Amino acid sequence: MHWGDFYVRTAQDVLAGRWRSQSVWDGIAQGFVKLAPFCVAVPESVRSQVLRSEQDIVRGRLHPFSGHILDNRGGLFFDGVRMSDGQIQRMDRYVMGVEGSVPRP
């Protein structure tokens, strides 16, 4: 996540008297989430695929939290069109490909 731009925008809003408490759900399209630079070992074909997917997310054609999603133990976690913000907030497990388990309070 790239918090710098968010903090600058927020500070400017505070100074201008425009700041209001609110939930923030910005992402790649708003510059809030940015991809890290690719390692030299990443093949060009993979880089191209990742960058195409990034643009599809920005354009609203790809929704990462949609479709058939398995948790990291192989169980069905979600099977639908698109997860709501509330469903994403309540995620209590990792998805397939992520090792480990979510820390419990």
* Signed CA dihedral, 58, 22, 6, 8: sign only: positive
* DSSP code for 10: H
Q: pLDDT of 14-38, one tens digit each?
A: 999 999 999 888 888 888 888 999 9
Which residue has better confidence, 36 or 5?
36
Residue 25's pLDDT is 84
pLDDT mean across residues, the chain: 92
Give me Rg for the CA atoms of the chain: 17
The residues spanned by each domain of the chain are 63-98
List the helix and strand counts (H, then E) for the chain: 3, 2
pLDDT at residue 78 greater than cutoff 90: yes
